[in-house]
Amino acid sequence: MEIDIKNYIELNIPELKDRLFPVFTTNISKPSIVYSTTPISGGHVKQTQLELKIIWSDYDKTKEIETTINKIIDMEEDKSFIAYGSTYFKSSLSGGGILYRDDLQMFENTLIFIIFWRGIK
């Protein structure tokens, strides 16, 4: 599921191709997104929390990327599941916020999504 969601984002937002990194990154030469997942519940349709951290020195650019990501990942409740790779999924924005990382001299815009998903057999 994790790789399918990552690939789905990169397919739909070409400027983020090769800019999504699991857990951490040291590559901050361009806007970068660090992602992590946390399982919430199992069963036929599973729930997983997806955390995306948009890291870049330009506040406005991080907000622009946030808007673009929300257009494809923050889905309406009545929207059908998407089939991508080996995963059926739908998701909704659950939280987030932005802060300035003094140690990096960068903004870190966090988006938290709840992903409802199941594998395609």
Please give the full DSSP string across 14-35, using - where no structure is assigned: GGGTT-EEES--S--SS-EEEE
- pLDDT band per the 50, 70, 90 thresholds, residue 25: confident
Percentage of residues in the chain having pLDDT higher than 70: 100
């991080």: which residue's tokens? 62
Strand spans (E) along the chain: 20-22, 32-41, 46-56, 82-84, 87-101, 106-119
- Global pTM value: 0.94
What are 61-118's pLDDT values in tens digits?
A: 999 999 999 999 999 989 999 999 999 999 999 999 999 999 989 999 999 999 999 9
Name residue 94's amino acid. Answer: S
**What is the arithmetic mean of pLDDT over 17-21?**
94
Please name each of the domains of the chain with its CATH number: 2-119 (3.30.2000.10)
